[in-house]
């Protein structure tokens, strides 16, 4: 996995190709981290509402996206 500092340097640099690739990698990383945290929260007994509140989305959005992973 690329180091976060490398990704940050790429998105702040002048090479648009490297910057866009870094942004795409960061998106994938954020999705992975979010999924892991949602599963952990559900296992800890959190409600869909509480998870959604922390993520800044609706309960329906988070439930639709992750229902079945808990």
Summarize the confidence of residues 6-24 as an average pLDDT: 89
Range from 12-16, 24-28, 54-58, 65-69 that averages highest in pLDDT: 54-58
Name which of 27, 35, 8, 3 is nearest 19 in CA terms: 8
Q: pTM score, two decimals?
A: 0.79
The span from the CA of 16 to the CA of 24, in Å, is 12
The phi and psi torsions of 46 (rounded to 5 degrees) equal -70, 145
Q: For residue 47, give its domain range.
A: 4-66
H-run or E-run covering 63: helix 59-66
CB-CB contact of 32 with 24 (8 Å): no
């Amino acid at each position: 996995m690329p180091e976060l500092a490398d990704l940050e340097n790429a998105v702040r640099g002048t090479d648009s190709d490297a910057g866009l690739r870094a942004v795409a990698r960061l998106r994938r990383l954020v999705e992975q981290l979010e999924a892991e945290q949602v599963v952990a929260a559900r296992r800890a007994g959190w409600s869909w509402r509480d998870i959604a509140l922390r993520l800044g989305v609706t309960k329906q959005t988070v439930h639709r996206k992750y229902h079945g992973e808990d």
